[in-house]
């Protein structure tokens, strides 16, 4: 095992524990994966808690997608694979069962094409438009097919009544982005019914232009 892979294993487990300790996903929910230098993947095993991941037991896939070491991977592998296969910039994928984003997905007026309201600049800068997908049974390969149907045009999706999934260039960026998604959803739920002042269309467009944000229509 290379020194870089050892560091990546430790980083994945440290970031996962940080999110678990702050209540962003509980029990044995959530999963995380990251690309290795040789084109393979490290993936959190099935049925494991983000608070107690063991770097030595992460599922290890080779560049051909074959499991070569570690425990059996999360049942959400089709979801992770769909992002890696359709977004060549994806170096990591994170999926949480974060409370406020799930709550927002249940609201009858949820926006299917642009799930997060434009309340702060950072949700836009880190995530672009978040696609709300319908409910699927956990582990259903149809989740992966739904992501593939987006043809790589979104870095983040929200699974209705389930949780967010975010892809980014590396595992730290993916964790930062999915935390921003949950923070924005929490703000949306906190201010729901209070008529908060969101960013204007012009302000959103300014962010898209200045920070070169992916903003697929």
Q: What is the DSSP string of the chain?
A: --HHHHHHHHHHHHHHHHHHHTTSS-TT--EEEEE-TTS-EEEPBTT--GGG--GGGSEEE-TTS-EEESSPBPTTHHHHHHHHHH-TT-SEEEE---HHHHHHHTSTT--SSS-S---SHHHHHHH-SPEEE----TT-HHHHHHHHTTTT--SEEEETTTEEEEEESSHHHHHHHHHHHHHHHHHHHHTTTS---PPPHHHHHHHHHHTT-----
Q: Which residue has the tokens 């044995």?
A: 28
Q: Residues with catalytic annotation?
A: 76, 122
């Amino acid at each position: 095992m290379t020194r870089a892979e050892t560091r990546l294993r430790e980083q994945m487990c440290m970031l996962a524990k940080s999110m678990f300790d702050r209540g962003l996903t509980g029990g044995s929910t959530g999963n995380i994966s990251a690309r290795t230098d040789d084109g393979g993947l490290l993936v959190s095993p099935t049925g494991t808690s983000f608070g107690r991941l063991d770097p030595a037991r992460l599922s290890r896939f080779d560049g051909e997608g074959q499991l070569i070491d570690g425990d059996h991977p999360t049942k959400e592998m089709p979801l992770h694979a769909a992002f890696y296969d359709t977004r060549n910039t994806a170096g990591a994928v994170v999926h949480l069962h974060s409370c406020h984003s799930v709550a927002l997905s249940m609201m009858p007026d949820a926006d299917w094409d642009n799930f997060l309201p434009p309340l702060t600049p950072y949700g836009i800068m880190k995530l672009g438009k978040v696609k709300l997908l319908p409910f699927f049974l956990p582990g259903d390969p149809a989740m992966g097919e739904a992501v593939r149907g987006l043809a790589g045009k979104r870095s983040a999706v929200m699974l209705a009544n389930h949780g967010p999934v975010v892809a980014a260039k590396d595992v730290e960026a993916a964790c930062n982005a999915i935390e921003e998604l949950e923070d924005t959803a929490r703000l949306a739920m906190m201010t729901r019914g209070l008529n908060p002042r969101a960013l204007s269309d012009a302000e959103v467009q300014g962010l898209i232009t200045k920070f070169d944000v992916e903003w697929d229509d």
